Structures are given as C-alpha cells and as structure tokens.
Amino acid sequence: MSDRETRHKASMQKLKERVDEKVASATEQRGLIIVNTGNGKGKTTAAWGTVTRALGYGYKVGVVQFIKGLWECGERNRLEDDPNLDVAIMATGFTWETQNREADTQACREVWAEAARMLADPDVYLVVLDEITYMLKFGYLDIDTVKQALENRPPEQTVIITGRNAHRDLVAMADTVTEMQEVRHAFASGIQARRGIDF
Ligand code: ATP
Ligand code: MG
C-alpha cells in the first residue's frame, strides 16, 4: 500500500469512529421542530420533499399554506389525491397585492384554526406551516399563540416552518434550523419563475 493510501485508510477509519460515536449518542426519539429560513431558494421545496418522504411511509401529513399567491404548485397537484395529505390554504389573495389588513387578518385566523387542529392531532405525523413567518411579521398572528400550539403538540409530531426572517423565538425553540443562503437567483437576471421548477 502506498503512503497516500495508508494515510487515507487511517483518516477514513477515524472518521468512521467519530460518526459511529455520534450515532450511538443519539438515543432520543421524538418529533422535531424544523425551521427553513433565509433569503435563498429552497425553503418550501425542502418542506415538500419531506412531505413526500413522510407520505412514502404512509404517515398522515398536514400542509398549511399561509400565502395564497404561492398557491399554484406542482407538488400539490401531484400529491393532493393522497388520502393521507390534508392541505389548508389561506383564503385571500397574495398579501402584498391585497393590502387589506382586516381581510388578511381574518383569513389568517381562519387558516390558523386549521393549523391548530392539525397541531393537536396525534395522528398527524408531520405539519408544514409554509410561509407562516410573514404572518408573524405582519402581526396577523400572535407569536405566543404559535409557540403554545408548538409546545403542546403531540410528542411524535414534527413541524416544519418556512419563510424568511423567522421569529427569533421560533429559531430558539427549533431542533433543526437551516438558513438558505442566496448566492445567486435567476430572477435577479430577469429570468422568469419556471413552471415545474419554481412552483
Ligand atoms: P422555493 O419555493 O423555490 O423552495 P422558497 O420557499 O425558498 O422557494 P420563497 O420566498 O417562498 O422561497 O419563494 C417564493 C417564490 O420565489 C418561488 O417561486 C421561488 O422559486 C422564488 N424565489 C425563492 N428565492 C428567491 C430569491 N432569492 N429571489 C427571487 N425569487 C426567489
Ligand atoms: Mg417558500
């Protein structure tokens, strides 16, 4: 064996030991709070990826979409016939288009009621609160209400929160937080959002 191969083998052995150690020390089993935030693309895509993953094992999944302007999406078209998937969508138009605070607050309350129902149901294995960060930012929804529902949810239930500028309390209570960092986005070069790729 060459020197290089010997060194590689030794370093792989060390890596394996470190990974094995970490795997052995992860003994707790419970549902998670996952936050996908940041300005880069991929927050909602990653959430739907996890929805597909959970449905693939026959788990019940709830998705709550807090901004209707982003309603058209291929994932939903593909998965909506799955009897284990329950999707709730906010009833008004895109928040930045309607600029009707009262109507938006009411619509937000209504769709939050659906979210609260899912967050209280032990049969629901995964709940996605898509773009909920904006509801908190605009003051349509109260952070304490959301925190309480998350804290009291069934222990086996996982919740994914998506949207930019996640409230610091949500970041603090989450088990897994990913900040999507924008390096570049095609839209900035004048390229339109693509069907089946961006939505
Ligand atoms: P995606 O749904 O593609 O995973 P996202 O959830 O991370 O994106 P949003 O802010 O919710 O980000 O994006 C809404 C729409 O804007 C999507 O069509 C998305 O592809 C697009 N988008 C995402 N990030 C950016 C960005 N940095 N600049 C411009 N458009 C973006
Ligand atoms: Mg999104």
| Domain boundaries defined on the chain | 30-189
Assigned CATH topology for domain 30-189: Rossmann fold (3.40.50)
pLDDT digits (tens, 9 = 90+) for 112-166: 999 999 999 999 999 999 999 999 999 999 999 999 999 999 999 999 999 999 9
Let me know if 39 is a catalytic residue. yes
pLDDT digits (tens, 9 = 90+) for 109-123: 999 999 999 999 999
Q: Which two tokens stand for residue 17?
A: 């030991």
Let me know if 43 is a catalytic residue. yes
Q: Which of 155, 183, 150, 154 minimizes the C-alpha distance to 167?
A: 150
- 41 Cα: distance to centroid of ligand 1 (angstroms): 5
Q: What pLDDT score does 104 carry?
A: 86
Ligand 1 pocket, 197 CB below 6 A?
no
Task: Go through 170-181 and write b for each residue having 16 or more CB atoms within 10 A of its CB, e for each that does not.
Answer: beeebeebbebe
- pTM beyond cutoff 0.85: yes
What is the distance between the alpha carbons of residues 54 and 75, in angstroms, rounded to a whole number?
14
Q: In sequence order, what are the residues at sequence separation of 6 or more whose Cβ sits closer than 8 angstroms to the Cβ of residue 105?
A: 140
What is the distance between the alpha carbons of residues 173 and 81, in angstroms, rounded to a whole number?
33
